[in-house]
Amino acid sequence: MARFGFGQEMRQAQRQEMLLQPRMLQAIEILALPTQDLDAYLRNAAEENAALELHEPSLGVDLGIPTPRERVRSKDATARHSAMLEAQPARTRSVAEQVEEELATADFEPQTLAWVRFLIGCLDSDGFLAPSDHELLALARERGLQGDANDLAHAIAALQRLEPRGVGARNATEALLLQLDPGDPDYRDLARLIEDFLGELAKNKLPAVAKAMGLDVDSLRQLIARLAELSARPAADLDRDAAPPIVPDVLVRAGENGWEIALDDSRASTVTLDESVRDLARDRELDRKLREHLRGQVERARWIVDAVSQRRATLLRVATSVFHHQRPYLDHGPGHLVPLRMTDVAAEIGLHVSTISRAVAGKYAETPWGIEPLRRFFQAASGHDPDSARDDVRETVRALFAAEDPKRPLSDDEVVETLQKRGLELARRTITKYRQELGIPSSYRRRRHE
């Protein structure tokens, strides 16, 4: 009879683990923050920690008497800030706000006015009246609105006469039709194009559409130009908040001894340790628990101050290395980026690749050729040419398509052949991928008809 025994065995193993301390985690978080997010982070931290003192950017305004060098720097910072504000789009109005303004001058009966105001509240952000009549009537009854289907129909018609034209439509086709002028000599043809041929126009089947409508291609093209003035989403731009301006973190300027790399401190908040709180934390006359609380705040404030300082130093080192390699871009502009990997920069300045990635995340550089994301300057080699950066090759592809004869647009194969003559070996599928990334339709859809 066989017996099976179960024994206990103890094993020892050695294992190394890297435990990230809170201070390290905070430094990593601050390094990865873009300037706008860092300002918000520091503002919140200063509100929660009495030992942390926040200094808002002065944008060149100083109550003292600046030195000549400070005056130049102040003037430059103020000019950049003014340009940023001028470039920032004004806050847009919502569709409800604009239509309500229209109602102020509209001559509607009180019953109709109440129904139109109800419908305004049912509009989506594009200005469409998406709910069905049945749903609208049920919702109106819940709101205590008196009326029936005839009142609803009358209110919808009244709403659709207001600006922006097309508001209150049920779909894009109806929105386009509402924007047409019935007194326009071309009204019937324009309406027919919208109702019957939008699909064919999207596929560039102009000869077939022209034949079906009894027009020549030139006349059809003129009608299409008229349609291009209309909006399939008439209120789409009214309910969008202005996008925040891009704030560059790095400035690249031409100096007496070559290109100079610096951080833009004109719009960045800074933090320091509040010395008065630190002194209180050392005051033995205070209650012990209060001193311990203050000491904890002082320690956390020091972490943040050190992390911000380390962020600046790291970003400057990374940017300096990047633009040392991308000197051809600075000298000659777009089209002269060289392949550069994060591992190359990491090895050069003695940092981990993940640190490089965090340092450039969401950061921008203001160069002589415009403001660009720092990540753009890390480029993989393209195709079989190790000296060509991917974005530059894609720009070359875009330029080829832009210069083509619209009556005989280039095929992807023809672009491959043209690049081969220039010494660039790319596969057809790569050209197709670049074309799609650039939003360029196929040659069939780009063809201009006589």
Say what the pLDDT of residue 111 is: 85
pLDDT mean over 158-181 = 88
Let me know how long the chain is: 450
Rounded to two decimals, what is the model's pTM?
A: 0.48
Of these ranges, 73-77, 82-86, 208-212, 232-236, the one predicted with the greatest mean pLDDT is 208-212
Q: What is the pLDDT of residues 250-291, one digit of tens each?
A: 999 988 888 999 998 777 788 899 898 888 888 888 888 888
Q: What is the pLDDT of residues 12-61, one digit of tens each?
A: 444 444 444 677 778 888 888 887 788 888 888 888 888 899 887 654 33
Are the beta carbons of 297 and 49 closer than 8 angstroms? yes
pLDDT mean over 162-188 = 89
Q: What is the pLDDT of residues 83-105, one digit of tens each?
A: 444 444 444 456 666 777 767 66
CA distances from 396 to 341, 373, 432 (A): 21, 20, 13
Rounded to whole angstroms, the Cα distance separating 278 from 283 reads 9
For the chain, the average pLDDT equals 78
Return the CATH number of the domain spanning residue range 381-446: 1.10.10.60
Rounded to whole angstroms, the Cα distance separating 182 from 436 reads 39
Say what the pLDDT of residue 15 is: 45
Ordered by start, the domain boundaries in the chain are 95-227, 381-446
Report whether pLDDT(240) > 90: no
pLDDT mean over 407-423 = 82
